[in-house]
Amino acid sequence: MAGPLAVLVGALAMAAAPLVAVLLAAPAATAAGTSSGPPPLHFGVVDGNLLSETPDQINADLDTQASLGVTYIREQLSWAALEPEPGVYRWSQMDAIVSGIAAHHMHLLALIDFTPGWAQPVGCNSFKCAPADPSRFAAFAAAAAARYSPYGVHDWEVWNEPNLVNFWLPTPDPNAYSKLLALTAAAIRSADPQAFIISGGPAPTADLDGNIDQLSYLQSLCSDGSLSVADAVGVHPYSAPVGPDYYASWNAWSQLAQTATSDRSIMAGCGAGSKPLWATEYGAPTNGPGAMATESNLDLAAHPDHVDEAFQAQMATQAVQYASAQNWFGALFWYSSQDLGTATTTNQNFYGLVRYDGTHKPAFAAYAAAISQEKSRPR
């Protein structure tokens, strides 16, 4: 891309149309790598519906989410959707989301990812392809930060689950992601000195079919020093079909700090031990094509792919309680706010706290009650 990032950011900031003037005070970010005691603990929810909703629908969804007592909404800020052609920006839907979140006195965790067709590498034809030129991704991130930082958006997660083939095509590459993270963090901070950068949360997986085990992936990021540019380390500690309290070497929740090699031990080994972990996704599906686990019958021999609603509620309570007990936990986001559909051919439709028809699962009340209880305790 022609011209330095600073010039691009300045030009875009001057050209940006004003948002609804609803300002939200955001917590000031510390410089990367610094620590002044336990970080504040934030609770949030992942919402994947706002990008396709009308302003009235956005407001209704945010009313529901605010009633949980969460202070953060994690929403995708897709480069592919917002800059479909070089220099052509479509901010209007994101403007409505940012304004709505601010009006509800919550914060946005902006998940920035996905590559428009014009920026994809030759031979890779998907918005999930890694950018051909990571500096162009960084330039877009700077433009977004320049636009939204005046409205309280300071928290940025750089890419989603980059250790999976499904999210980093043609194949996951820690070195390539490290370069993207470093360039993007610098670009965002050039536009917003208050920016708080979270490394992209890897998904629990095995070294299979091109995917990279999440602990191995984190070790690669630690070894090359790339975590030094992040203020927090993103994780996705899914545990289903067991709960956070079930110790197992394969349980990503156990791998946060309890296993011999864990997220925390890896971070300590490369000088990143003072950084908080942000669990930017955690949850469990309540339906699917396979067997079902319950609190009283895990049925692990049947390899269950979902849990019943009562067990999902118990997992929500346990996750909040465990996160609150650790001084290195920075944030917990439940995935997701609402079911995506009713077809049981995939469990991906059933991670919501709210059913597809808008009724609440038991986990909704459980998550809200646990958050309320933990907010009243000193940290």
* End-to-end Cα spacing for the chain: 46
Query: Considering Cα of 169, then 173, then 174, then 176, what sign does the dihedral take?
Result: negative
Q: Please give the pLDDT value at position 11.
A: 36
Once rounded to an integer, what is the mean pLDDT over residues 310-320?
98
Q: Which of 33-37, 222-226, 346-350 is the least confident region?
A: 33-37
Q: Which of 19-28, 41-50, 99-108, 299-308 is the least confident region?
A: 19-28
In a domain, residue 34? The reply is no
In a domain, residue 155? The reply is yes
In a domain, residue 14? The reply is no
Spell out the residues 6+ positions from residue 47 whose beta carbon is closer than 8 angstroms to its own. 61, 65, 73, 74, 75, 336, 337, 338
In a domain, residue 21? The reply is no
In a domain, residue 4? The reply is no
Q: Are residues 220 and 236 in contact, defined by beta-carbon separation less than 8 angstroms? A: no
In a domain, residue 162? The reply is yes
Distance of CA 74 to CAs 160, 262, 277, 285, Å? 12, 25, 15, 18
**In this predicted model, what pLDDT tens digit does every residue of 166-176 receive, in sequence order?**
999 999 999 99
**In this predicted model, what pLDDT tens digit does every residue of 94-111 receive, in sequence order?**
999 999 999 999 999 999
Q: Give the residue among 75, 72, 74 at the shortest CA–CA distance from 107.
A: 72
In a domain, residue 13? The reply is no
Residue with tokens 């349980």: 251
Q: Please give the pLDDT value at position 37.
A: 56
Dihedral angle, C-alpha 377, 42, 62, 185, nearest 10 °? 170
Q: How many helices (H) and strands (E) does the chain have?
A: 10, 10
In a domain, residue 273? The reply is yes
**In this predicted model, what pLDDT tens digit does every residue of 321-343 receive, in sequence order?**
999 999 999 999 999 999 999 99
The packing angle between helices 174-191 and 214-223, to 10°, is: 60
**In this predicted model, what pLDDT tens digit does every residue of 194-246 receive, in sequence order?**
999 999 999 999 999 999 999 999 999 999 999 999 999 999 999 999 999 99
How far is 92 from 99, CA to CA, in rounded Å?
Answer: 11
Q: State the pLDDT confidence band at 48, using cuts at 50, 70 and 90.
A: confident
Q: Please give the pLDDT value at position 213.
A: 98
Q: Over the chain, what is the mean pLDDT?
A: 91
Domain count, the chain: 1
- Provide the CATH number for the domain around residue 333: 3.20.20.80
The percentage of the chain sitting over the pLDDT mark of 70, rounded to a whole number, equals: 90
Once rounded to an integer, what is the mean pLDDT over residues 171-200?
98
* Element holding 313 (H helix, E strand): helix 309-325
- Give phi and psi for 42, each to the nearest 5: -110, 145
Q: Is the predicted pLDDT of residue 51 greater than 80, yes or no? A: yes
Q: Is the predicted pLDDT of residue 3 greater than 70, yes or no? A: no
Q: Are residues 276 and 234 in contact, defined by beta-carbon separation less than 8 angstroms? A: no
Structural domain that includes position 335 = 40-375
How far is 149 from 175, CA to CA, in rounded Å?
Answer: 29
